[in-house]
Every structure is written in structure tokens, then in C-alpha cells.
Amino acid sequence: MSAKRIFSGIQPTGNLHLGNYLGAIRNWVRLQGDYQCLFCMVDLHAITVWQDPAELRRNTREVAAGMLASGIQPEKNILFNQSLVPAHAELAWIFNCVARMGWLGRMTQFKEKAGKHKENASVGLFAYPNLMAADILVYKATHVPVGEDQKQHLELTRDIALKFNSDYKTDFFPITEPLIFGAATRVMSLRDGTRKMSKSEESDYSRINMTDDADTIAQKIRKAKTDPDNMPATVENMESRPEASNLLGIYAALSDIDKEAAMRQFAGRQFSAFKQELVDLAVSVLGPINSEMKRLMDDPGHIDAVLRQGGEKARAMAEPILAQVYDIVGFLKP
Ligand code: AMP
Ligand code: TRP
């Protein structure tokens, strides 16, 4: 086991989709075994925008089920929900006092989520990246596997670690590295190849959910937006056609080949023939995950027990690190 320590988080806000699977969860499955890994359902982050309490509980279990069904092994890793470990919120407070307003004001996720009504956004939504830095640094994690969209937050995590270390003349916090994986780090909407596939897009036809059954997957792929030409035969042509490029990217990621190889395989063929192959592939990968998720969701008590055990392991790791931070900052010992 190497000295690398991996932490990653996912918001339990419903509709786990193919982007979450290809951009995050599948990569996490591949990291376990080689590294010490913590995987966290970030429920404290989720409530930065309104969550119905019953839905939040259900979604937390569903995301956990998605990870377990995808092959995350709870015995080898630490799988838990964030609110089980108070040290995240405690360290986040300290980081609220390290990070500067200007740094947070530049975060694109805040700007996107707050939209035109910044004054109406929760304070938590603004401070979100500080809590994310705390998630990572309360374990002194060295590597964070995420999709492209989280890069800016990880840069902020580094800035916070650097400023803390420099303010307190210490080298306590590691400077965390992002781990961004090659293929399909950005899965785009099936309705618009220039927008990210996301939980929050209104149309369910824009995404493939990990809870979709085979028929739904097939229907969504068949209805996915394309253009009138046949399949692209050159990289330039592919890159200038966002929908074709996205579907080929998905095909490549699902079959673990690179996108150019996928392009060559279908060059010049009709979209309908390609889509049928994509349906078969997507169903063969996601079908078994989907049925295992359903099985797990029928036994919420089991999921809760797995998370509680993860929470205990996580607390044992985080508490001594937080105690050292309190000491560095100058708080009296308890
Ligand atoms: P979120 O759903 O925003 O909590 O994201 C959870 C994880 O999935 C993060 O690592 C994201 O980077 C990743 N992710 C979310 N949407 C996509 C997407 N459309 N393509 C690739 N990765 C994504
Ligand atoms: N902000 C991440 C997202 O929306 C989720 C997250 C919270 C996270 N804390 C984290 C990811 C720590 C990696 C590490 O996807």
C-alpha cells in the first residue's frame, strides 16, 4: 500500500447518472485495492440548496447503493456519509477564516448555482468549497479523483492548504493533487452536446440514470439528439459535431477504448446502426449495476449499517488530525 491517500465525494441529490458513473464512480472502483480510499456521500454539501428531508435520506442510500453495486468494497475502503463525522464541519469553520471572500467569489459552480439571485443564495452555497477542502484535508488526503468540473475547487483546496501552512508557519497540510481520468471525464447531455449531463437538468431524456432499466436506456439513446450526417470519419469532423462526439465518447468509455478508435469503428456508418450498438453496450454495462442497486435499496438497514461502520473508521482517522489543527491554531487543549 502506497502513501497516497484518496478522498472523493459525491452529493446525494438524486438521479445518479452516466456522467457520475463514467466520470467518478467507475474510476473509484479502479483505485480501491491499490490505495487507501475514502468515499463520501456529502450530505452537508447537499443542503446548500433546499433538500426535502425524506428525499435526502433516500438519495443518500441510493448513492451508496450505486457505489456498492458498481463494485466499491466497503471492507477495503471507507464508505460513509459526511454528517457522521463532525470533524468535516469543524475544520470547515477554520477554513472559513483562512479562505478569502474574493477566492470564493470567483468559483464558477457558485456563480452557476446562485444564478441571477446571488443575494438569495444560502451562505453555505458560497462557503461550499471551504467545506470541500475540509473533507479532503481532515484526512490529509493526497489525491482526489473527480471529473473536470471540480478542478477549480481543488485549486482552492491547495490555496487553503498553502495559506494555512504559511500563516501558521507549518507544513501540516499536504498539497492535494487532482486525479482526472482520460476518457469521458465530461459526459454531455443527450439533448445538447454542449452542456454537461447533470442531475439538475429538467428533461430526464438528457441523461441516462443509473436506475434506468434496459427499455428506458434504449429509448433515451434512440431519441438522443444527432445531426443529419453519417458518423464522422475524421477527428476534426467529430470534434466539430458535439452530439456525435459525445455519443462516441460514451461508447469509448463504456468499452474502455479511446475515442478515436471508436470513431474509426463506426466511420461513415448511419447513426441508427451506431445507436443500436451503443444501446447494447450501455445495457450490458449498466443492467447488472441497476439490478444490484434495486436489490440493495430493498434493504435500507443494510446500507445504513455499512455507512455507520465507515463513519466510525473515518472518525477515528479525522479526530486526531483535527486535534492537531486546533493545537496549531492556538485553541486550549480539552
Ligand atoms: P455531482 O453529481 O456534481 O455531485 O458529481 C459527482 C462526481 O461526478 C464528481 O466527481 C463530478 O466531477 C462527476 N460528474 C458529474 N457530472 C459529470 C459529467 N457530466 N461528466 C463527467 N463527470 C461528472
Ligand atoms: N463538490 C463535489 C461535486 O459536486 C462533491 C464533493 C464534496 C467532493 N466534497 C468533495 C469531491 C471532496 C471530491 C472531494 O461533485
Mutate to test the pocket of ligand 1, among 8, 10, 20 (most ligand atoms within 8 A of CB): 20
Instruction: Identify the residue whose C-alpha is closest to ligand 1 atom 11.
Output: 147
Of 215, 194, 218, 323, residue with least CA distance to 277: 218
Strand partners, 144: 178
Confidence band of 30 (pLDDT split at 50, 70, 90): very high
Is 116 a known active-site residue?
Answer: no
Rounded to the nearest angstrom, the distance between the alpha carbon of 147 and the centre of ligand 1 is 6
Do 291 and 179 fall into the same domain?
Answer: no
Do 168 and 268 fall into the same domain?
Answer: no
Element (H, E) at 141: none
Do 76 and 147 fall into the same domain?
Answer: yes
Residue 191 domain-assigned (yes or no): no
Domain carrying residue 217: 204-295
Q: What is the per-residue pLDDT across 259-290, written as a single tens digit (0 to 9) for each? A: 999 999 999 999 999 999 999 999 999 999 99
CA dist., res. 236 & res. 240, Å (int): 6
Residue 44 domain-assigned (yes or no): yes
Is 118 a known active-site residue?
Answer: no
CA dist., res. 173 & res. 158, Å (int): 9
What would you report as the CA-atom Rg of the chain, rounded to the nearest whole angstrom?
21
Atom of ligand 1 nearest to the CA of 187: 20
Q: Are 95 and 157 in contact (CB under 8 A)?
A: no
Q: Is the CB of 11 under 6 A from ligand 2?
A: yes
Q: Specify the amino acid at residue 89.
A: A
Instruction: Identify the residue whose C-alpha is closest to ligand 2 atom 6.
Output: 9
Rounded to the nearest angstrom, the distance between the alpha carbon of 6 and the centre of ligand 2 is 12
Helices (H), ranges, 48-122: 53-70, 87-96, 101-105, 108-114
Name the catalytic one among 163, 199, 225, 313.
199
Do 303 and 258 fall into the same domain?
Answer: no
Strand partners, 9: 40
Do 28 and 166 fall into the same domain?
Answer: yes
- pLDDT of residue 99 exceeding 50, the answer is yes
- pLDDT of residue 184 exceeding 60, the answer is no
Nearest ligand by distance to the CA of 11:
1
Do 160 and 264 fall into the same domain?
Answer: no
CATH number of the domain that residue 123 is part of = 3.40.50.620
Q: How far is CA 115 from the centre of its chain?
A: 22
Do 158 and 88 fall into the same domain?
Answer: yes
Do 117 and 159 fall into the same domain?
Answer: yes
CB count within 10 Å of CB 82 equals 24
Confidence band of 183 (pLDDT split at 50, 70, 90): low
Q: Is the CB of 137 under 6 A from ligand 2?
A: no
pLDDT of residue 284: 96
Q: What is the per-residue pLDDT across 149-161, written as a single tens digit (0 to 9) for each? A: 899 999 999 999 9
Rounded to the nearest angstrom, the distance between the alpha carbon of 263 and the centre of ligand 2 is 32
Residue 197 domain-assigned (yes or no): no
Nearest ligand by distance to the CA of 200:
1
Residue 334 domain-assigned (yes or no): no
Residue 89 domain-assigned (yes or no): yes
Rounded to the nearest angstrom, the distance between the alpha carbon of 133 and the centre of ligand 2 is 9
pLDDT of residue 116: 86
CB count within 10 Å of CB 217 equals 21
Do 108 and 66 fall into the same domain?
Answer: yes
Confidence band of 1 (pLDDT split at 50, 70, 90): very low
CA dist., res. 25 & res. 222, Å (int): 25
Do 70 and 179 fall into the same domain?
Answer: yes
Rounded to the nearest angstrom, the distance between the alpha carbon of 10 and the centre of ligand 2 is 5
Count of domains forming the chain: 2
pLDDT of residue 182: 63
Q: Is the CB of 5 under 6 A from ligand 2?
A: no
Residue 317 domain-assigned (yes or no): yes
Per DSSP, the chain holds a count of helices (H) and strands (E) of 15, 5
- Segment 44-52 shows an average pLDDT of 97
pLDDT of residue 54: 97
Is 294 a known active-site residue?
Answer: no
Q: Is the CB of 43 under 6 A from ligand 2?
A: no
CA dist., res. 85 & res. 311, Å (int): 6
* Cα atoms in the Cβ-side hemisphere of radius 13 Å centred on 93: 8
Q: Are 279 and 208 in contact (CB under 8 A)?
A: no
Q: What is the per-residue pLDDT across 9-24, written as a single tens digit (0 to 9) for each? A: 999 998 899 999 998 8
Q: Are 137 and 160 in contact (CB under 8 A)?
A: yes
Residue 198 domain-assigned (yes or no): no
CATH number of the domain that residue 266 is part of = 1.10.240.10
* Helix orientation angle between 271-297 and 259-266, rounded to the nearest 10 degrees: 130
Nearest ligand by distance to the CA of 176:
2
Q: Is the CB of 7 under 6 A from ligand 2?
A: yes
Q: What is the per-residue pLDDT across 304-323, written as a single tens digit (0 to 9) for each? A: 999 999 999 999 999 999 99
- pLDDT of residue 7 exceeding 80, the answer is yes
Q: Is the CB of 226 under 6 A from ligand 1?
A: no
CB count within 10 Å of CB 148 equals 13
Q: Are 260 and 249 in contact (CB under 8 A)?
A: no
CA dist., res. 245 & res. 259, Å (int): 8
Do 15 and 148 fall into the same domain?
Answer: yes
Do 261 and 317 fall into the same domain?
Answer: no
Of 135, 125, 133, residue with least CA distance to 85: 135
CA dist., res. 268 & res. 305, Å (int): 52
pTM of the predicted model as reported, rounded to 2 decimal places = 0.93
CA dist., res. 99 & res. 118, Å (int): 19
CA dist., res. 92 & res. 145, Å (int): 20
